[in-house]
Amino acid sequence: MFKPFFTSALIAAFFAAAPAGAEVASPFGYPSTTLDAPATLTEPVGQFVQFGRVPFFLGNTGLSEVAERYHAARLREGAGYFERDFACFTGTEGGRPMIVWLIATASSEITEAQIEWVKDDREVPRTCGKLDARNLPVRLGLTGLGMTEKEVAEHIGKPSHEDGFGWKFWFSQRFLKNARGLEELELNWVGLKFKDGRVDRGFASFTRNP
């Protein structure tokens, strides 16, 4: 049975100490309203995260491959089923600093991607890889930071659910045959938080169960 993992533990201990008064950035937890989204889509809209022109497919691309390519540290938290590895990457979007989190939960492949603006009260971890202009912008599928609600709708259509607190979700499920001819259930979520009419943070999450 599929057990979604939607919470983030505090991981500041993995990073170098931040200056007094600053919070070291870490992956954000997903809102509980994510689970309210019905599966209204049969095709996923968040299969990949893209750095510039280079896509990395969730469930297929190894986290180590991307971390090594952009000189980011691969870190680990949790244990057992909830053990996960992650890496962060920083760059700019619309002249503002942003951060990308790639996460591999109980897998060597990337299962989640997060993007968000870096707020003034948060310290970017020193372990993050640096993204130059060639590797920007960063997109979750066809969506990204700073996009308007209209732009997002034009790219990926009507959301599966809106929670009334700024979050919109797109949820797909489909059955596929694997290499052994067995049926697998593939689930894909995209969640975008809008602030003042534009995407302020977002995530894409993927899982495939035999």
Amino acid identity of residue 11, one-letter, is: I
Which residues are paired to 116 by β-bridges?
A: 99, 201
Check residue 19 and give its pLDDT: 39
Instruction: Say if 90 falls within a structural domain.
Output: yes
Query: Residue 30 corresponds to which tokens in the numbers above?
Result: 């997903």
What global pTM score does this model have?
Answer: 0.85
What's the domain count of the chain?
1
Q: Hey, how many other C-beta atoms are within 10 angstroms of the C-beta on 199? A: 24
Residue 81 in any domain: the answer is yes
What confidence score (pLDDT) does residue 210 get? 58
Range of the domain at 119: 36-209
Asked whether residue 111 is domain-assigned, the answer is yes
Residue 80 lies in a domain: yes
Give a yes or no: residue 16 inside a domain: no
pLDDT given at position 93: 92
Assess if residue 18 is contained within a domain.
Answer: no
Dump strand ranges (E) for the chain: 23-24, 48-51, 54-57, 75-77, 84-93, 96-105, 112-117, 122-123, 129-130, 138-140, 161-162, 167-177, 183-195, 198-209
Give the separation between CA 198 and CA 210, rounded to whole angstroms.
37
User: Residue 23: its pLDDT value, please?
Assistant: 67
Residue 8 in domain: no
Block residue for tokens 């540290």:
73
pLDDT per residue, tens digit, the chain (210 aa), is 333 433 332 222 222 233 344 567 889 999 999 999 999 999 999 999 999 999 999 999 999 999 999 999 999 887 777 788 999 999 999 899 999 999 999 889 999 999 999 987 778 889 999 999 999 999 999 999 999 999 999 999 999 999 999 999 999 999 887 777 778 899 999 999 999 999 999 999 999 875
pLDDT for the residue 209 = 79
Does residue 27 lie within any of the structural domains? no
